[in-house]
Structure 1
Amino acid sequence: MLTKIVLSLLLVVGSPVFSIPLNTHTTAVNLAAKFKVAGVTNIVAGDRARAQALHQAATSGEHYANASITNVAPIGYTIQVGIGNPLKHYGLLVDTASGNTWIGADQDYTVTSTSTGTGNTVSVSYGSGNFSGKEYLDTVTLNSLSISDQSVGVASEYQGFRGVDGVLGIGPVSLTKGTVSNTDTVPTIMDNLFSQNSIQSEVLGVYFVPVSQEDSTGTLTFGGWNSSLMTSDITYTPITTASPASNYWGIDQSITYGDSTILSSSAGIIDTATVLILIATDAFDTYKTATGATLDETTGMLRITADQYSSLKPLIFTIGGTAFTLTPNAQIWPRSMNSIIGDTSGNSDNIYLIVADIGSKTFSFVSGYTFLERFYSIFDTTNKRVGFATTAYTESASN
């Protein structure tokens, strides 16, 4: 059965919803992109803090470890999720680097006839935010699609989540280890969709339209993918064996700028809740030098001139033997959205790059939504692999 859900993802400008044809063997969720302004403008610092916390959590096995809050990224994809009976809808951040689903930030949880308190406590840190509270089992509804007895954290304390009600965790179940008292791991949304026979394969397809588009939208496809949104075959690569990236949706890749390799094949993660593309410091320094960019102190991002932009070379990610290329336009932040990253000059012609330094003691790379909006991505728990394909927006010049 094909189930459609309209989700909202908040943009600083309006975002109408449109229908997308879907494969009949999948259960799909249509999103309308919406981005939130969280009051903190340094995206680089927020993304870096998140990467370091995720690395620390995977290394120590303590996903509930406390972390100081430095910055919160002002942008995130949220999904409208119904919980309880009668339904109450919550806007949850879509997060492939977390397994826990929780609510109670901007909007309080309402106990209904389907709510069951377990007596357990739950706590998770994200580096750029954290929460702690109590665990409930409740019915989670995505339009006509219903999940019973889903573990839902209800926050009594939280930091770093202004503009959203909580998190929808669609990462590996191992990420829930140690987050709930008296429990080893708790089934994720994807686990329960599969075990309750709502989907035939534990596979999630993710499609984002670049945020610079007037009709910025996206689609989550549960149980498969939407081939009509792809312009190439799918390239699959196995989850990396390199720890700690192997705890997440981690893959091996190399990165080339023009003809020069800036990052040899190494392990990192794919993350919908990270904004930028973070790479190892030595690779970042090489990229910075090659592009001629300078570090902008206000935004924390690399900035280039119009002449340097005209000379930008392709940035090539080799994954599973296939080259996925970010064109020069795909390497820059949407100029019409410069105010979101803290550019107070009012000059929409300023050009910032979306590649940033990941910092020390973390992964070799984290590819955030600015990478994912140029490619269709598939997160395949059943076969322990990640897939990518090009889309109509891979070579878009909208930035």
Structure 2
Amino acid sequence: MVKILPILLLSIACVFAAPTPKTSVKLPLKAPQSRVAYHHARSRDHCRWSHLSNNSTNSTLNIPAINADVSYLITVGLGTPAQNVDLIFDTGSSDLWVQSANYDHTQSSSSKDLKETFSIQYGSGSTSGKEFSDQVTIGGFTFTQEFGVASQATGFNGIQGLVGFGPDDLSAITSNGENIPTPTDNLYTSGQISSDVIGVFFKSITDGGTQETNGEITFGGVDATKFTGSITYVPVTTVSPASQYWGIDVSSITYGTSKVSSTTHGIVDTGTTLILLSDSSVKALYKNIRGAALDNNSGLYTIPSSQVSKLNNITFTIGGTDFTLTPAQYLVPDNQVANQGGVSGTAYSWIGSLGSNESGLAFILGQKFLENYYSVYDTTNNRVGLAPLA
């Protein structure tokens, strides 16, 4: 049967006997071989979210991340023996699919053809193919899961597939309307991790290169060495459509002492590259910066060099705690501009517009925010946590 899904495809997991729990397993989040220019990342972010504006042990499992600067990828093994694939690590969806060129079911002794098809349509892209059930390996842990093998995919050049770690309700569109457990859910219910929680550490590229293995995902808890102070936890918002995702409430957004937005609702999402605000908030922000303008070539806002030294911090107040980005944190580093198709000597900002004023989705805190703050996605307690990076 054909299944039309709003963001990413459906993933059905059935967990069998669990291996002996491990105290900690760390692996890298890695990068695509090819670079993604600014305008491609901006377009991808907009396609990704356009439909919303239009309409028990003590063990943990740590997975390292390689920074592709616009995506973080996690290595996952599919089949027996495992065929390793690098999938976008995505908290904005709850499903797993892989390009057919990167997984051959005939080479896996545990593969099962489910005789069903899937079809995903979103923004200006789509993907479709057949559904299989097979063993999935993350770190040293293995479970059986249904996933899609895409014979057709547009908008994913150079990408092998995606694996989602959002709320499992995002996988509810199936033939019988069931909610599908995420890989984290399955690791937890099988006793392989101690909590239905993931902690995410991202860090920006600092040397002007194209990729680094400098991120980490912890399954089953948090890595206290990656953040300072305490974690600020806030409940998932009740305001739709942000409530369908890892959505949170922000009591204010300020630029220096100027208020950009009062109480608003949005999403924390590892699968979005930029920091995106509603149209009205973006206008209020850049009105404070003389000469700031949208660059049509890159899709990013540019700031005159004469104004860079005068820039102020931008602060998101979440759960009574201020999460501040300095100009150095929300501007593209000079040594990375040329690598991503920008003009050397031009100041670019990671903060852009969502393209709408949807009140229930007024911001997305993507990768460029999360490279400055440790984030926690707690399914058991239906909450999101943030803390300053160590």
| TM-score normalised over the length of structure 2 | 0.83
Tell me how large the CA RMSD over aligned residues is: 2.2
Q: What's 1:354 paired with?
A: 350
1:4-15 map, 5 Å: none
| C-alpha distance in 2 between matches for 1:26 and 1:249 | 27
1:333-352 map, 5 Å: 333-343=332-342, 345=343, 347=344, 349-352=345-348
Q: What's 2:182 paired with?
A: 188
Q: Deviations over 1:53-81 (max 9, x none)?
A: 3555xx5xxxxxxxxxxxxx983111111
1:176 aligned to 2:147? no
| C-alpha distance in 2 between matches for 1:309 and 1:100 | 41
| C-alpha distance in 2 between matches for 1:258 and 1:216 | 34
Q: What's 1:312 paired with?
A: 311
Question: Structure 1, unaligned stretches of length 5 or more?
Answer: 1-23, 60-72, 393-399
Q: Which amino acid is 1:101 matched to?
A: L
Q: Deviations over 1:42-100 (max 9, x none)?
A: 132321221213555xx5xxxxxxxxxxxxx9831111111110111111111111111
Q: What's 1:303 paired with?
A: 302
1:202 aligned to 2:196? yes
The verdict on how the C-alpha distance between 1:151 and 1:162 changes in structure 2, with shifts beyond 3 A counting, is same
Could you say what secondary structure the match of 1:291 adopts?
Answer: coil
Q: Which amino acid is 2:245 matched to?
A: Y
Q: What's 1:92 paired with?
A: 87
Runs of 4+ in 1 over 6 A off after TM superposition: none
Q: Which amino acid is 1:90 matched to?
A: V
Instruction: Give the conservation status (yes or no) of the 8 Å contact 1:280–1:365.
Output: yes
Q: Deviations over 1:77-135 (max 9, x none)?
A: 11111111011111111111111101125524333111122223223334364322222
1:376 aligned to 2:371? no
User: Paired residue for 1:102, among 89, 97, 102?
Assistant: 97
| C-alpha distance in 1 between matches for 2:267 and 2:205 | 22
Question: Structure 2, unaligned stretches of length 5 or more?
Answer: 1-20, 56-67
Q: What's 2:6 paired with?
A: none
The verdict on how the C-alpha distance between 1:39 and 1:202 changes in structure 2, with shifts beyond 3 A counting, is closer
1:269 aligned to 2:264? no
Q: Which amino acid is 2:318 matched to?
A: I
The verdict on how the C-alpha distance between 1:323 and 1:300 changes in structure 2, with shifts beyond 3 A counting, is same
Instruction: Give the conservation status (yes or no) of the 8 Å contact 2:276–2:351.
Output: yes
Q: What's 2:117 paired with?
A: 121
Q: What's 1:278 paired with?
A: 276
Could you say what secondary structure the match of 1:30 adopts?
Answer: coil
Could you say what secondary structure the match of 1:290 adopts?
Answer: coil
Q: What's 1:256 paired with?
A: 254
Q: Which amino acid is 2:275 matched to?
A: I
Identity between Structure 1 and Structure 2 (%): 38
TM-superposed CA distance for 1:314, in Å, is: 0.7
Could you say what secondary structure the match of 2:239 adopts?
Answer: coil
Q: Per chain length, whose mean CA-contact separation is higher, i.e. which structure has more relative contact order (CA < 8 Å, sep 6+)?
A: 2
Q: What's 1:75 paired with?
A: 70
Q: What's 1:247 paired with?
A: 244
Could you say what secondary structure the match of 2:118 adopts?
Answer: strand
Instruction: Give the conservation status (yes or no) of the 8 Å contact 1:26–1:223.
Output: no
Could you say what secondary structure the match of 1:336 adopts?
Answer: helix
Q: What's 2:327 paired with?
A: 328
Q: Structure 1 residues 271-280 or 96-105, which shifts more?
A: 96-105
Q: Structure 1 residues 191-200 or 127-136, which shifts more?
A: 127-136
| C-alpha distance in 2 between matches for 1:109 and 1:264 | 51
The verdict on how the C-alpha distance between 1:275 and 1:310 changes in structure 2, with shifts beyond 3 A counting, is same
Could you say what secondary structure the match of 1:359 adopts?
Answer: coil
| C-alpha distance in 2 between matches for 1:128 and 1:94 | 21
Instruction: Give the conservation status (yes or no) of the 8 Å contact 1:26–1:221.
Output: no
TM-superposed CA distance for 1:391, in Å, is: 1.1
TM-superposed CA distance for 1:157, in Å, is: 1.6
Q: What's 1:156 paired with?
A: 151
Instruction: Give the conservation status (yes or no) of the 8 Å contact 1:46–1:128.
Output: no
| C-alpha distance in 1 between matches for 2:288 and 2:33 | 33
| C-alpha distance in 2 between matches for 1:82 and 1:28 | 15
Q: Structure 1 residues 30-39 or 197-206, which shifts more?
A: 30-39
Could you say what secondary structure the match of 1:186 adopts?
Answer: coil
| TM-score normalised over the length of structure 1 | 0.82
Q: What's 1:67 paired with?
A: none
Q: Which amino acid is 1:376 matched to?
A: Y
| C-alpha distance in 2 between matches for 1:166 and 1:318 | 34
Could you say what secondary structure the match of 2:288 adopts?
Answer: helix
Instruction: Give the conservation status (yes or no) of the 8 Å contact 1:105–1:162.
Output: no
1:386 aligned to 2:378? no
